[in-house]
Chains A and B, each alone.
Chain A
C-alpha cells in the first residue's frame, strides 16, 4: 500500500475506467511531490465518488452534482489548500450543470476532473447527459433522443481558462494532463473518457482506442481559443485528447482584498471588536 492507499476494499467493476483515473491521479500527486495531506479532494456522487474510500487524502464526499460549490467554498476559506473536484458526467453535467457553468466563468483555482463514461453506472444503466444519440439504455429503450452535452466546448464557452481531455486507457498522458491542470492557476477542467464495462456496450475501450488522438501531434495551439473550439467540436468520428485550451485569466480569489495576506482560516476570530460598526446604526 502506497501513502495514498487505504485499507478499504475497492468495489469498482474489473476493468472499470475509474482505475486508470485513480492511478493517473496518484501518479500526478507523486510527480507534484505531494503527500496525502497536501490536497483536498471533493467528490460528487456516482461510481467515481467511491474513490473517497480508496484514496488517502483530505476528502469530502458531498451530494450528487454539488462537488464544485463545496470545493469553491473550501478554496475561498483556505486558498492555500490544493483542491480537486472529482465528479461524474451525470453528476456534474446533469444534476450539477448550473454549478459547472458558473465554476468555469468564476475562475476559482480548483481542478475539476469529470469521469465521463456516458452512462449512469451506480443506478445501473440509464442514459447520461453525455450518452451518444441513439444510445440504448434503461431510460431510453429505443435510443437516447437528445444531443449529448459536449463538456469541453461548454467549458470553453463558459470561460474556463484551462480545458483538457484525456482517456482512462492512456494513464501516462492522463498523468501529465492532471499535473498541468493542477499547476494551472485558475479553474481547470480535465474531461476523462472512461469506459463503463458493465453498462455502456457502445463506448468500449476499443471504441475509444479507434477514435482518440493527441492534439499536440496535429500542431494544435492551445492558446488559440478558436482552434480550441474547433477541436472541441470534433466529437463525431475523432476524439481529441490533450490540452485543448490553456490561457491566463484573473483569479477570482485575487479580487478579494480580505484574503490578500492570509487565508480566511488563519485569521483570528477570538476578539473581534465591532464597536465601530455600530456607528451607522445610531
Chain B
C-alpha cells in the first residue's frame, strides 16, 4: 500500500475486521457489531467476504463506522479481530499504521504477530473466556465483540441490547449466554490492558434515526412496496437473501414465493403470473440468467411485464461464486435473440435499490416489457446506513392495463397504436378472450408470418424504446461542477467513488462524478451535452470488468470515447484509496 494511506488522517472513523474459519459465526457477529455502531449513533457500512464453502474457508466481515457520512468500506483496517492464524496471515497487509489486533491466543501464538510492529496487540484467550462463562468454542467471536467495545470505549449496554435483538428469536438462555460471554471479553479487556486508541465508539447522542440496509434488502422492500405478488427464483449467490426474505415473510405480506426446479422455470413462472395479472419478479445471477435468456426474449415478444434481478458475480460459468463484479452489463443488454426493449437499471446503493426496483415494476407494466435490475454481490450483500425511506412517495402506475369496466368490441391484444403500447387485458375477464403468442403474431395474437405484419409488429414494439428513451430521468452528478477531473461510474461503484471524492477533496483535488443508473435506455441527450462540454478535463471511467463495458456503451451510443479507465476484475470491490491513486496518476 502506498505511504499516503499509512497515515489515517484522511479516513474518518475506524474500520474493524473480524477474520476466522467459515462456520464460526463470523457473519452474525459482524452484523451485531455493525448494529452496535449504528445504535451508538454512527454512520456504518459493512462488507463480508467468504469462499464458496460452508466450513473451513477463511471468512471475514468488515465494519466501517464514522461520525461523518461515509459511503464505502476502505482498504485499511484499524482494528483486526484475529480468531485464528489465517486472519493474521491473510489480513495483515491491510493493517493501518495505527492499528490494533485482538488476538485469540487460544488459536494463535503471539509470535505470529511479532513482526507487526505498527500494531498494538491485545492477546486475549477468547475460547477460554467463552468456556469460563459457560459458552461454547464458537462463541469466541462474541467474546471478541465485548473486547472490541471495551477497546473502543463503547457502551456495553448497546452491545448487549443488539445481541438480545439478533438472537431474540431463540430461547432466552441463548441470549443470556451470548451477553455473558461478550461481558467476559469486555471485562477482561478493561482489566488487563491500558487501552489508548485514536478510535472511538463512544455513544453519540441525538443522532437521526437511520436504516441499515443491504442492496438486496432495498430490492425486497422496493418490490413489496410496488405490489410484487409473485416471486419465483432458484437459489444462487448473491441473491439468496432476497429468496430468504420472501420465503419467510411471504405469508405475512401476501407475496407468494415459489421455488422452481431451475431458472428456466423461474422466469417462465414469473411470466405466467404476470400474464395472469399480478406484478411478478424473478432473481438470479449471471449463470442463472444465461438459462433465462429465452424467457427474457419471450417476455419481450409476448409483451409481458417482467422484473428480473440480476446479481452479478465474476464468471464465466461458475467463476468466483461468492465475489463481485460488473461484467454482465453487455450480456443483459443483448441477451436473447433479436431485438426488443430491454430496460436495464443499475442502482448504486440500497436506497437506490429500493426506488429503482419499485420503479422497475411501473416501467415493466407501462412498457409491457422486461426491466432488469442489475446489482452485484458487493452491493447486494453489503449493508449501508441509509436515510429513512418515505415509501409513501411511491405511486403505482399500471400503464395501459384494462380495468373491469373497460369495454372493447373485438379486443386486440397487440393492437397497433401510436405509442406502440397496446391495451393489456388479463385472462379471466368475461368476453375478452385473447391470446399472447411467442410466435410473431397479428394484432389479435394469432400466429402471422407476413412481411407486412412482421414489420408492423416490430415497429410497434420498438416504438416503446423511443418513448421510454424520452421519459427516463437524467443521471446524477456529484461533487464540484467546475472540477477538472470527471469520474464516471455506474451501479455499485457509486459508494467507493463518492468516498474517493471526499478523500480527494481533503487533498484539495476537486472532482465531479457522473453516476449512471439507467443503462438502457441510456440517457443519450444528457450524455451528449455532458461530454460535449468536456475540453481539457480529465475523464476517468471506473468499472469492474476487463473491457470497460460501460465506456464502450457510451462510445456506441453517443460517440464519446473515455480514454482513461480504472478497471478491476479480481472479484474484489473498488476501494476508495485505489481510486484516489488512479486520479492522482491521471
Binding site for B on A (CB under 8 A): 6, 8, 36-37, 40, 42, 45, 50, 52-53, 56-63, 66, 69-78, 80-81, 98-99, 101-102, 256-259, 264-265, 267, 269-270, 272-275, 277-278, 281-282
Contacts and interface: CB of A to CB of B under 8 A. Distances in A.
B199 interface: no
A73 B388 CA distance: 34
Given A66-B264, A73-B270, A50 B447 contact: yes
A269 B272 CA distance: 19
B251 A76 contact: no
Interface residues of B, number: 67
B435 A277 contact: no
B436 A59 contact: yes
B221 interface: yes
Interface of B: 209-213, 217, 221, 224-227, 229-230, 232, 249-251, 253-256, 258, 260-262, 264-266, 268-280, 294-295, 298, 302, 388-389, 391-392, 396, 426-439, 445-447
B428 A81 contact: yes
* Residue among A77, A267, A281 having the largest count of chain B Cβ atoms under 10 Å: A77
B273 A52 contact: no
A62 B295 CA distance: 9
A86 B298 CA distance: 18
Given A76-B230, A101-B261, A102-B261, A61 B427 contact: no
Interface centre among B264, B272, B436, B438 (most CB of A within 10 A): B272
A277 B230 contact: no
Given A40-B427, A77-B276, A58 B254 contact: no
A33 to B, nearest CB: 15
A69 B433 contact: no
A37 B432 contact: yes
B265 A69 contact: yes
B428 A58 contact: yes
A99 B209 CA distance: 47
B256 A259 contact: yes
Given A56-B433, A81-B276, A281-B221, 17 more contacts: A45-B438, A50-B447, A52-B435, A52-B446, A57-B433, A60-B427, A61-B436, A72-B265, A74-B427, A75-B276, A76-B258, A101-B261, A258-B250, A265-B426, A269-B226, A274-B221, A281-B213
Most chain A CB atoms below 10 A, which of B226, B269, B274, B396: B269
Contact of B224 (A80, A258, A265, A274): A274
Contact of A98 (B232, B254, B265): B265
A277 B268 contact: no
25 contacts: A8-B446, A40-B276, A52-B435, A52-B437, A52-B446, A53-B447, A59-B434, A60-B437, A61-B435, A61-B436, A61-B438, A62-B302, A69-B264, A72-B272, A73-B258, A74-B273, A77-B274, A78-B277, A258-B256, A269-B229, A270-B227, A277-B221, A278-B221, A278-B389, A282-B212
A269 to B, nearest CB: 3
Given A40-B427, A102-B265, A272-B224, A70 B275 contact: yes
Given A40-B427, A50-B447, A277-B221, A77 B438 contact: no
Contacts of B265: 66, 69, 72, 98-99, 102
Contacts of A40: 276, 427-428
A6 B209 CA distance: 62
B278 A264 contact: yes
Nearest to A98: B261
A81 B276 CA distance: 9
A256 B251 contact: yes
A41 B369 CA distance: 22
A281 to B, nearest CB: 5
A258 B433 contact: no
Nearest to B383: A281
B77 to A, nearest CB: 26
Contacts of A58: 427-428, 433-435
Contacts of A76: 230, 256, 258, 269, 273
Contact of B427 (A81, A99, A102): A81
Q: Which 6 A-B pairs have the closest CB atoms?
A: A269-B227, A73-B272, A59-B435, A73-B269, A69-B268, A58-B427
B268 A62 contact: yes
Contacts of B429: 37
B428 A80 contact: yes
Contacts of B270: 73
B210 to A, nearest CB: 7
A63 B273 contact: no
Contacts of B225: 272, 274
Given A8-B446, A37-B428, A264-B256, A73 B230 contact: yes
Contact of A74 (B275, B279, B389, B431): B275
B137 to A, nearest CB: 29
Given A81-B276, A272-B225, A274-B224, A61 B391 contact: no
Contact of B255 (A37, A62, A258): A258
Contact of A258 (B251, B396, B445): B251
Nearest to B435: A59
Nearest to B389: A278
A57 to B, nearest CB: 6
A281 B224 contact: no
Contacts of A69: 260, 264-266, 268-269, 272
A135 to B, nearest CB: 28
B427 A73 contact: no
A32 to B, nearest CB: 16
A155 to B, nearest CB: 15
A101 B261 CA distance: 9
B391 A63 contact: no
B28 to A, nearest CB: 14
B256 A53 contact: no
A270 B230 CA distance: 16
A256 B258 CA distance: 10
Given A73-B230, A101-B261, A269-B229, A63 B435 contact: no
